[in-house]
């Protein structure tokens, strides 16, 4: 069983979810916009991925003021869940960020 943290409208999240489901691995999808991450989850993801968890290329990021951008990553992600790079996948392959070849190998074998 894997938990995929992302946003339902994200193409990358949809691709990852479909691939995981087709592999026979059970997938629980968690839309972080509808069910925001807890402080503990944000802290755990930041401990694993550091600053790369924050998506500074997103539309949400570009809409923030300079002073808002200077805030702590955990505060920014709590206030704006779409600032989290996606997907974060927690499964038998460990905790991964994104849906690149490394994440695919970790979760699909």
Structure confidence by residue, pLDDT tens digits, 18-55 = 999 999 988 999 999 999 999 999 999 999 999 999 99
Angle in degrees, CA 43, 63, 45, rounded to 5: 15
- 10, 13, 42, 46: which is the annotated catalytic residue? 10
Of 12, 11, 22, 10, the C-alpha closest to 2 is 22
pLDDT category of residue 109 using cuts at 50, 70 and 90: confident
For 50: left if phi > 0, alpha if psi spans -120 to 50, otherwise beta; the answer is left
We find that the CATH architecture of domain 2-108 is 3-Layer(aba) Sandwich (3.40)
Let me know if 13 is a catalytic residue. Answer: no
- Kindly state the tokens that stand for 5: 């943290």
Per the confidence metrics, is the pTM higher than 0.85?
A: yes
**Is the Cβ–Cβ distance between 58 and 80 less than 8 Å?**
no
- Domain locations in the chain as residue ranges: 2-108
pLDDT of residue 25: 86
Mean pLDDT (the chain) is 95
Instruction: Return the bridge partners of 2, or none.
Output: 27
């Amino acid at each position: 069983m894997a938990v995929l943290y992302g946003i339902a409208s994200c193409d990358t999240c949809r691709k990852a979810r479909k691939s995981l489901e087709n592999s026979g691995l059970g997938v629980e999808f968690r839309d972080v916009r509808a069910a925001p991450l807890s402080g503990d989850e944000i802290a755990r993801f930041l401990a694993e991925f550091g600053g790369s968890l924050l998506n500074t290329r997103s539309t949400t990021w570009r809409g923030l003021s300079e002073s808002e951008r200077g805030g702590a990553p955990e505060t920014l992600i709590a206030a704006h869940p779409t600032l989290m790079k996606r997907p974060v996948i927690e499964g038998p392959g460990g905790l991964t960020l994104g849906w690149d070849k490394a994440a695919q190998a970790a979760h699909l074998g």
